[in-house]
Structure formats: structure tokens, C-alpha cells
Chain A
Amino acid sequence: MMTVKLMQGNEAVVDAAIKAGLNFFAGYPITPSTEIAELCSEKLPLIGGKFIQMEDELSSMAAVIGASLAGAKAMTATSGPGFSLKQENIGFASMAEIPCVIVDVQRCGPSTGMPTMPSQGDVMQSRWGTHGDHPIIVMSPSSVKEAYEITIKAFNLTYKYRTPVILLLDEVIGHVRERIEIEDDPNVTNEKFNLPDVNEYIPYKNVLNGVSPFIPFGLGYKYHVTGLAHDEKGYPTNSTDVNERLMRRLLGKIENNRDDICVYDEKIRKDSDVLIVSYGSSARACKESMKMLGEAGINASFFKPITIWPFPEAHFKEISEKFKYIFVVEMNNGQLYLEIDRLVKGFGKVIKVNKFNGEYLTPQYIYEKVKESL
């Protein structure tokens, strides 16, 4: 069964999160993510869930981790400057393997920048904002419908891989209203695992997929959680060997499961030597500009990563080899461009098409930039 609704991107994230089991939200108001907090404050208590407006972004992220450890499905939402403040505790969630979803509705930066203007300037912050090598999953939808579907996927992945999942919206997707069709019964994997014997549970053991089951506090499994390098039981260690095993497992659980984690959309044409790569709201503008290019006799192919980190590396390398020109279109000064350029080094010309002044990318602008570069 399907339900048809007119919905904003931020609203779709909240509705999907609740469908996926969200019952705890902690946040601090910041434009353009605020509707997510406001809607959670209205909707969660009605289903017995909790919303708490914390004193700042640092404590919001901390409370989300605490709530997740206490058995809640937990989420927070923010925008650029607030995302920066959450980074220390996002690193904690990566290290201590606490499931949680962080929504960043990007606005124009750096610093406080232009709060109501769109941007895709947090692509690198979402990957490397916290310190140290660490696992992370980042997904960026380009429509309200996709925001809904990807939010559900985010909750599934955060539990499957015990790693924070970041939903990277841009202001356009956060605020645009679209008609969407929602499946009444989305694919929420509430993985029910058999609870192991209390004495046998080892919270950080390297098991299937590199992930030991996550068991919340209060059920009798009294274990230690820390952001320090730790052994399989969670006890702090200064052993470089133990830390090496830990780091290889943490990074490996994402690296080795790219095929399961990576979602993308593509339209590859046989007769084309131009590939356009884009994501988020920019990808929408690209589709229109491709029609304009077609009318001018240029058949362009298209690739849209929905999972940005980890990037679908092997697949992209394979498809990109045949293109003479690869355009990377984004609302920043070329962040995903760096990744694409690294991947295709030696066999393609990578050209960036950007805006980073707070304006969104129009089909006309993209069309002209592509045309003048060929």
C-alpha cells in the first residue's frame, strides 16, 4: 500500500526516522535544520518517545550516544557550525561503536556563513571532521522521496555496522516541498539477535562482518564503553598490537562491506564521452542540464552517488574508464571532486563545476560550464 503526501525534506526525515523506530532526539536549534527538531518535539511524545533540547550541540550528540546505549533509537540534526561542534562525540560514537543517526542540513559556510543559503560544503567535514582514522557512513539524498528512503536505510545501517550514519542534506532538499508516495511498510530491519549468555558476551569481539551484536545497558551485560583504544572487552589499552587489531576491524567493517552500504543512481550511455557526477539538489539541476546538452548534440552520462562515504570506488573506476571528460558538479569549491580526481587519475579529464556563494546551481549554469569546457 502507498500513501501520497506533500512533504518537506526535513519533514520526510522525521517521518521516516519514526517509521524506522526513532524514539529519542536531542538537539540544539540551528537553521536550516530546525524543522527536524520542532517536528520531533511534537511527534515523539505522542508515541512515548523523548525529545530533549540540550544546552548546546556537544551535549546533544553526547545525549544521543547515551540514549542509544540505554536502548533508544536515537538521532540528532544540525547544520554546518553545529556539525563542527558535534565532531568530537561523533568520533566517540565511531570508536565505541554506538548506533546513531546525525542529520546535517548544509548551509553556506565557512563559519556562520549565510544561514539560510544552500551549500554542499560539508562533504569533507562529514568524512574527516572528527580526528583520527575512523569508520563512517554518509548518505546524501536528492529529493524528498529519497530523503525518506535513505533515512530508513540510515537506521538499518547504523545498527548493522554499529557506526554513526550521517545524513547529508543540503538546504534545498531540507526545505523543498514535494509530492511523494510512501510505502506503508518500508523495509526496516529491526534485527532481532539471540541474546548470548551473559558471561559469553564480548562487546568488541571480531565476529561476523566485524561487528559484535550491540546490546544496550540494563539487560545484565555489564560491559565497559570508552573512547580510548580498547581490547575486545572494552578495557582501555596502550598495546599497539591490540590497537592495530581494533583499528583494522573498525575500518574493515566498512571497507569490506562497500557493496552492501553503497547506493547510487546512474544513467550510462554507450555513445557518450561525457560523464556528469553530482549529488543532492545539484544532481536535480544536472538532469535538466543534460536535456539541454542533448539538444545541443552532446549525449552526457550521469552518475549520482547517494552513499558518498564510503564512495563506491570499484564500481566508479569501472564505469569511468570510457569517458574523456568527467564533470563534478557541486555547491562548494570542489570537495567530492578531490575524490573523483583521485579515482580516475591517468585516464580521464576531471573538471569541476561549482558555486559556493550561497546560490544554488541552475541547469543553465551547468549547461554553459560543460559546453565551454568541451
Chain B
Amino acid sequence: MASELIKKYYRTDTLPTIWCPGCGNGIITSAIVRAIDNLNLDRDKVCIVSGIGCSSRASGYLNFNTLHTTHGRALAFATGIKVANPSLTVIVITGDGDCAAIGGNHFIHACRRNIDLTTIMFNNSIYGMTGGQYSPSTPSMDKSTTTPYGNIDRNFDMCKLAMAAGATYVARSTSYHVQQLIKLIEKGIMHRGFSFIEAITMCPTYYGRKNKKGDGKEMLKWQKEHAVSVDNMKKFSKEELSDKFLIGEFLNIDEPEFTEKYDKMINSLKVNSDDK
């Protein structure tokens, strides 16, 4: 099954990937591919846009219309694509540094517009490609190459930001909970509006090593043990939840979508000009 999917959706002449052993990016990339396959989308109409960083290299390995943009700007490029040609299914791949730091402003405005893009943020809590500097999602007091004495910044919950900024589909899963992640991505793609799915993943090379979190396998185990389903959270006390994080679907609502509103406006203008 896996090899069939690889033949069907990957640019095999670009493999192997540049990712380190134990990295979770391959798992998340394959979850995206499985979601596309399950939905039976027309590959010619799928457009995958990514920013800069380890995760954003995924676009190059996938055989769709693919665009690897500048740092933090994937959502702005994707907005142009979707507005110019709303018939395309546009999926954005970004990292926690790319999306939450340099791309933060584009992120809140893409949420606000409720434009029909599906954004999957690979969150490995670190800047991997530049060699392990802290990102907006590096937990407080953790170490990185630019927080050698511990990170005094507070870390960002991008799902809460997405909801506050106006996204209409928001969910989180991990590279351990692959079946759930695939389902959430499927729902995000089918949702008409801005969808944000955070995928918690692992970087054993930089984040794991600096913070003594073990290898990729150990970090997957950590995800398993620290993730609490949003449906079950009431079963846990506040204390029990203090070192845990929530996974599942946080928001799924219907609001008018940007490109549909645009088309309606254009059509109403045509009616008006006919009246004249």
C-alpha cells in the first residue's frame, strides 16, 4: 500500500528526502497524501504551497502543482492562487517558525478572511533547518542554540490564535496519532473556509538532543503519553492536564468563504451593469 502511494503521489526521482533519521515530517507528509487519496481528489487540481524550513521541503517530493515560496509567505502566495483560481484545492505546508513567527501576520489575516485554504503546521518546537534555534512554540525554559540558558519567552498556542483570528476549522493531532491526523486533514480539505491543522511532530536532531528527549521513538512515545483527546478532557483534573496537550477537532463552523463572496459580488455587478 505504502509503495503504491509513493508511486502514485511522490516524485520518486527526488527521493530520498533531506530529513534526518527519526524526523516526523515523513509521517505527516504521508498523512496528507493519504487524506488526498481517501478523498480521491483530482491531482491536477491540487496545489501544494510551502514556506521555508524542513517541513516546507515536503512540497518538492509530491507530484502535484507545487510551490516552495519564501520564508513565512506561503499563505500569502496561496491566497493569490486561490483568489485567481478558486477551482484549485490549495493545501499549505508550513512549520512552527515559518507560520507563527515570520508568517504570523499572514496567518492571522488568512484566518480573518476565511479563505478556503487548508494549512497544516508541522510543529517540532524548533527551527530545524538553520540548526536548532528556538521558535515561538519552543516550550518555556527549554534549550536551543539561541536559548543556551533556557527559553524565557512564552510559547504560542496556534490553535487558539487561529480560532481568535477567525479560522472556521481548527484541529490538532500528532505524528503518533496518524489515523486521527489523516481524518482531520480530510475534514480540513473538505471544509469550505480557512482550515488549520496543527501536527505535533519531533525533531530528535535539534530539539530532542538539546532537551534530552531521546530519539524519534522516545519522542513518539512522549506524544502518545501527553496527548489528551478534547472529547475526554473532562475526565482529567486541572493538575493532571498541566503537562498535557489537547488533540482533536476544536472548531468546525460554517461562515461565508472569501472566494465565494467575491464571486457573488462579481455576479451582482454583472446584474447591475445589465440593468443600466
Contacts and interface: CB of A to CB of B under 8 A. Distances in A.
Given A59-B76, A62-B73, A62-B76, A70 B81 contact: yes
B79 A66 contact: yes
B7 interface: no
A46 interface: yes
Contacts of B85: 70-72, 216-218
Given A58-B76, A62-B76, A224 B81 contact: no
Given A50-B83, A224-B66, A59 B106 contact: yes
> What DSSP secondary structure best describes chain A's contact surface?
mixed
Interface stretch (B150-158, B220-228, B265-273): B265-273
B47 to A, nearest CB: 5
**Chain B residues touching A, range:** 35 or more
Contacts of B88: 70, 217-218
Given A66-B49, A71-B85, A222 B68 contact: no
Nearest to A62: B76
A217 to B, nearest CB: 4
Contact of A235 (B60, B76, B84): B60
Interface stretch (A9-17, A163-171, A225-233, A279-287): A225-233
Interface string A24-61: 10100000000000000000011010101011101110
A236 B60 CA distance: 8
Nearest to A56: B105
A155 interface: no
Contacts of A67: 80-81, 83-84
A374 interface: no
- Place the interface of chain A in its size category: 35 or more
A226 B65 CA distance: 12
Interface of B: 11, 13-14, 43-45, 47, 49, 57, 59-60, 63-70, 73, 75-85, 87-88, 105-106, 109, 262, 265-266, 269, 273
Interface of A: 23-24, 26, 45-46, 48, 50, 52, 54-56, 58-60, 62-72, 74, 88-89, 92, 216-220, 222-228, 235-236
